Amino acid sequence: MKPLVVLLLAALASAGASARGDLSAEDLQRVRGITAPTRDFSAPEAFETMQAGAATVKKLINADIFSHASANLSFEGRQQFLVGNGLFRKDWVSAPSSTQASDGLGPLFNARSCQACHVKDGRGTVPGFDPLARTDAVALLLRLSVPPATEAERRALSSGELAALPEPVYGAQLQNFAVAGLPSEGRIAVEYTPITVRLAGGETAILMRPAYRIEDLGYGPMRADTQISPRLAPPMIGLGLLEAIHEDDILAHAAADKGDGISGKPNWVHDLRTGAKVLGRFNWKAGQPTVEQQSAAAFSNDMGLSSPLFPSHHGDCTAAQQACFDMPHGAQPHLGEHEVPARLMDFVSFYSNNLAVPQRRDPDDARVLAGKKLFYEANCIGCHVPKYVTRRDAKQPEHQFQLIWPYTDLLLHDMGEGLADGVSEGQANGREWRTPPLWGIGLTAVVNPNATYLHDGRARSLLEAILWHGGEAQAARDRVVAMTPAERADLIRFLESL
C-alpha cells in the first residue's frame, strides 16, 4: 500500500476517535472499529451494500428511485411522508386565489414547486450547453451579494448575524419569474468555453467553463461590484441521516492531517429556531444547519412563501421594489399567519428528512473493488469520508445509531480558482465549497437524464467533475489524470456503484 494511503488511514482512524458524548465507552469502541477505513479491497466491507443503514431501500432501479420513503419508517411515518410528498410536488399559485391553501406564490420567484428544481428528488437541470437547445433556468439560481462598505456591515458579517450582504435592489437571489402585473428581476445567460485536458494513456477530456451574466434587468442597474454565485439544486436523499451525524465526528475530521494540504473547515451559521451559532451542513457552502431551515429558506427565496422561520410574505423583495410589497399575499387567517403554516412546514421537513438512499449495486464486482482501491489511493477520501455511525440521540428514532456511507466530511474546502465564485457565505470564502455526499451519485442520470454535476452543473460526466477539482483536491485530481485509461474506467465504475 502506498505511503500516502498509510498516512491517510492513520489520520482517518484518529479522526474517528471523537468524544461522542451520546455513546457509552463500549459503544464508542465499537463505532471506532466499524468506521475505521478499510485496508482490504478484495471484497466488500460488512454492511457496505446498505448505504443508509436500516433506512436503505431495495427498490426497482428506475426514475423514481430517489423518491421512496426510508425503509425503516413506521406506518405513521409513511403517512406523514406521503403528505409531505404532496406538498413538495404541488404547484403554488399567486394570491388571491380560490385555492387558498395553495396561494401566495411570489411576488418574485424562481419556481412554482419544490419538485420543479429537484427533479424527481434528484439534481436539477441547467439551461443547456447547446445554445440552440436552451431552456429557462429554473433549478439553476444566482445568489447575489456585495462587499461590505461600512463598519456595521463588516461587524454583521464577522459576527454571523448575516451570512452575506444582499444586493440593495435585487436582494440575495435573482428571481427570474414574477406574478402577473410585476416585472421579473432578470434572466440568467450562460456561455460555455471548451477547455481540453490531456490525460495519461493518450485520452483527452473537454471541460466546459461557464461565464454568467444577467440580462433584461427589471428594476434598474445592479451595483457594479455585485458578486454572483450560480447554485444548482442538489439531490434530496439521505438528508436526515446527514443531520444525524454527530458534530464531534465532523470536527474531528477538520482537525485531522489528511495529507495533500487538505484542511477541512466548518461553517458556523445561525440557527433561526434556537438563536445559537451551530455547525452548517446543508447547501453548497454549508450555509444552513438543519433540513427544516434549508427547506424554509427555499420556500422564501425560491417561491416567495412565508413560514415561521422566514415570516416575510414577500420573500426576497427589497425596499427598492415597492411594487412587490403592494402585491397581495396568500396568508389566510383561518389557516395561520404564514403562507406555509407550521404544520405544513413540518410535513415538508419530514419528507425531506426521510427520502431514502438506494442500496449499492455490484459492490463485489472486481472492477468496482479495483476502483474503490484507486479512490483511496488517490486520497479522494481525504474529503469524501466514507462512513459514520449516527447519533444515539438523533431527533428521529429511524436515524439513530445507523452505519451510513455518505462519502462526505460536510466541511468546507478550497477547491481552487477553477471552481471559485468569489462569493463568501458565513465562514466560507469565494474558493471554498462543502464536500457533497456521493451516495446515489451513480443513479443521477437514471433519475434525471439531463442532470449534470458540481455546484453549477458545468460537469457533464463524473470524470469532468473530477477534472474540475483544484486547490486542496489538486493532488488527488492529478493522480486521476495520471492513471491509465483502464484505471480511470475502474474509478468511475466504483463511483457509479454508489
In this structure, is residue 152 part of a structural domain? yes
- Cα angle at 325 between 322 and 330, to 5 degrees? 165
Is 41 among the domain residues?
A: yes
pLDDT score of 475 more than 50:
yes
**% of residues, the chain, pLDDT over 90:** 89
Handedness of CA 204, 122, 177, 419 (dihedral sign): negative
110-150 pLDDT, tens digit per residue, is 999 999 999 999 999 898 777 656 566 678 999 999 999 99
DSSP assignment of 53-93:
GGG-B----STTTTSPBPTT--HHHHHHHHHHHHHHHPPPB
Per the structure, the complete domain to which residue 218 belongs is given by: 25-497
Question: Rounded distance, CA 355 to CA 65, Å?
Answer: 10
Average pLDDT estimate for 307-335 = 95
Where do we find the cell 483527452?
A: 204
Residue 257 has pLDDT above 80, yes or no: yes
Rounded to an integer, what distance in angstroms lies between the CA atom of residue 400 and that of residue 212? 43
Question: Distance of CA 396 to CAs 55, 81, 241, 425, Å?
Answer: 12, 13, 9, 29
pLDDT digits (tens, 9 = 90+) for 54-102: 999 999 999 999 999 999 999 999 999 999 999 999 999 999 988 878 8
The per-residue pLDDT for 5 is 53
What single string gives the DSSP state of each residue in 86-139?
HHHHPPPBPSS-S-GGGB---SEES-SSHHHHSGGGS----S-SSGGG----SS
Q: How many structural domains does the chain have?
A: 1
Do the Cβ atoms of 414 and 87 come closer than 8 Å? no
Q: How far is CA 308 from CA 80, 160, 165, 279, 299, in A?
A: 19, 21, 22, 21, 11
Predicted local confidence at residue 221, as pLDDT = 97
Confidence of residue 158 (pLDDT cuts 50, 70, 90): confident
Least confident of 3-12, 20-29, 421-430: 3-12
Amino acid at 399: H
In-domain check, residue 3:
no
For 89-98, write each residue's pLDDT tens digit: 999 999 998 8
Query: Mean pLDDT score of the chain, rounded to an integer?
Result: 94
DSSP letters along 194-218, please? EEEEE-TTS-EEEEEEEEEEEES-S
Give the pLDDT band of residue 1 (cuts 50, 70, 90).
Answer: very low
DSSP single-letter state for residue 307: -
CB contact at 8 A, 139 and 145: no
Q: What is the DSSP letter of 44?
A: P
Residue 380 within a domain: yes
Read off the pLDDT of residues 173-199 as tens digits, 9 standing for 90 and up. 999 999 999 999 999 999 999 999 999
Q: Is residue 9 part of a domain?
A: no
The CA-based angle 193-194-199, given to 5 degrees, is 150
Q: pTM for this structure?
A: 0.95
In a domain, 14, yes or no: no
**Any domain includes 381:** yes
